[in-house]
Structures are given as structure tokens and as C-alpha cells.
Amino acid sequence: MMRKYDDEFKQNAVRKIFDGQSVASVSRELGVAESLLHKWKKAKCETSSDIEKEVLELKKKLREVEMERDILKEAALIFGLES
């Protein structure tokens, strides 16, 4: 049976993905197929303004840089470079 999702549900699901949660984890959490989440994400990206797109890209880059920083902090602790 095909289930209908309202716009607010879709927006919240896509927001979780843009906030850094993986599509797979959102899929498990909400009980929605990954392919459907990818479709909603693509639709959101196509309708977003240039500023919204830039904000999303910057958030993604920030998450990557924060992850790299955390890895380097752990490496520094392991090698005794930090007190």
C-alpha cells in the first residue's frame, strides 16, 4: 500500500539529511525508503535558492572540517603531542 507523506514530514526528513545525518539512518528512523529520501532531497535542491544552496554546501564543508579536526585531536593525544 502506497503511503502519503505531508510536506512538513518531507521537509523534516530532508532537514535531517542536510544537518549531517546519513540517508540510511534517516530511512531507518522514519521508516521511509532511501530512494524516496533521495528523491525528496533532489527536489529540495532543485527548488532551493542560490543562497540556500550555498548555506547547505557550507554546512556540509563545516561538518567535514570538524570531523578532520576531531581526528587530528585524537591523533595528537595518541602520539603525546598534546598535554
Q: Report the interhelical angle of 23-30 vs 34-47 (nearest 10°).
A: 120
Total residue count of the chain as it appears in this document: 83
Secondary structure of the chain as H, E, C letters: CCCCCCHHHHHHHHHHHHCCCCHHHHHHHHCCCHHHHHHHHHHHHHHCCHHHHHHHHHHHHHHHHHHHHHHHHHHHHHCCCCC
Per the model's pLDDT, the better-predicted residue between 48 and 40 turns out to be 40
**Mean per-residue pLDDT of the chain:** 87
Mean pLDDT score, 19-45: 91
